[in-house]
Structure 1
Amino acid sequence: MSADFNPNDPFALLRQFWQNATPPGAQPFLPPMSEEEIERRITELKVVEGWLTMNLGALAMQIKTLEMQKATLAALKPKSDG
């Protein structure tokens, strides 16, 4: 991984990609020139994938927690016999 990459900063990789973006008019998807560059990019993208997966899991857990709280409040709410 590059010296600028910090796994504790989840947006460092995205900033690095934007900073290293190809100039206008250039082909944006040129393949890396070496096996080392390919391996470095794969490793960095796997870190991002792991971070996104972790956040997706945390989001899903938060949604389930709120749904359980809502169900609990609904169950404890006195019913009116209107």
Structure 2
Amino acid sequence: MSADFNPADPFALFRQMMQSATPPGAQPFLPPMSEEEIDRRMAELRVVETWLTMNLGALSMQIRTLEMQKAALAALRPKSE
């Protein structure tokens, strides 16, 4: 570890790793892109968003189905006195 490591800083190790991995002046999270590249990536992310929304709907439906099954079982269970 470097001499300027501060254990009280939770991001010190991450910052040190990023500084050693990228050349000076480079932006590690925002590479330069053309307008076509941005449009292509936005389209890809919209496809992923649609897929995730569909899966969330299926998951919600399955949860509701299980809740209904649980309620039906509770209604059919004989009441103990």
Q: Same fold (TM over 0.5)?
A: yes
Q: Tell me, in whole angstroms, the C-alpha distance in 1 between the residues paired with 2:75 and 2:33.
A: 62
Aligned-pair identity in percent equals: 79
With the length of structure 1 as denominator, give the TM-score of the two structures.
0.65
Structure 2, unaligned runs of 5 or more: 1-20
Alignment correspondent of 1:29: 29
After superposition, residues 1-82 of structure 1 pair within 5 angstroms as 24-25=21-22, 27-81=27-81
Please say which structure displays the higher CA radius of gyration. 2
With the length of structure 2 as denominator, give the TM-score of the two structures.
0.65
1:32 to partner: Cα distance: 4.2
Q: Tell me, in whole angstroms, the C-alpha distance in 2 between the residues paired with 1:37 and 1:75.
A: 57
Count of matched residue positions in the alignment of Structure 1 and Structure 2: 58
